[in-house]
Amino acid sequence: MHQDQMQNELNKHGIDAKPRTNQQNNAIHLSFRQFANELNDAGWSLSKALDAGKINLELGWTEDNIKAIFKAVMVHQLPNKQWRDPDNPSTTELETVELQQCWEVLNRAMGDKFGVTLPFPSVEAMYYNAVYK
């Protein structure tokens, strides 16, 4: 769904689109780190993931390369969004609904491609992980 269509749908239901929150920002960056750790633990080097088999270089996943992929998802999912800097879109420009939409696309792709999915970080999930893992 395009940004203006999404806004119209939200408005129909009396929902105001709001910028992403600081809590969402902290959560999304935590999820980038968690994805990097999970993918590395599962044995997926970045070069394997990108199918760059011609190079004998095993790169691990990092928060930064997960974030770069997330930014590519943002641009793809929100083609009509007017980014302040189109060459370097920022998560600070996302509305709460847009962040959730992009997160779901990234999470589904990671699951489809690598068998690694994560719940969006929350206080409840962090408590569960601390107690049961």
- Residue scoring higher pLDDT (46 or 8): 46
Q: What residue has token string 């990092």?
A: 62
Confidence category of residue 112, pLDDT binned at 50, 70, 90: very high
Residue 83 pLDDT greater than 50, yes or no: yes
Contacts 24+ apart (CB under 8 A), 40-46: 42/114, 42/115, 42/116, 44/114, 44/116
CB 45 within 8 A of CB 58: yes
Q: Say what percent of the chain tops pLDDT 90.
A: 28
What is residue 52's predicted lDDT score, i.e. its pLDDT?
45
What is residue 65's predicted lDDT score, i.e. its pLDDT?
87
CB 99 within 8 A of CB 24: yes
CA distances in angstroms from 5 to 11, 15, 81, listed in the order given: 10, 13, 12
Q: Which of 76, 101, 70, 79 is nearest to 2 (CA)?
A: 79
**79-85 mean pLDDT:** 91
- Tell me if the pTM is above 0.75: no
Confidence category of residue 55, pLDDT binned at 50, 70, 90: very low
Single-letter amino acid code for the residue at 42: A
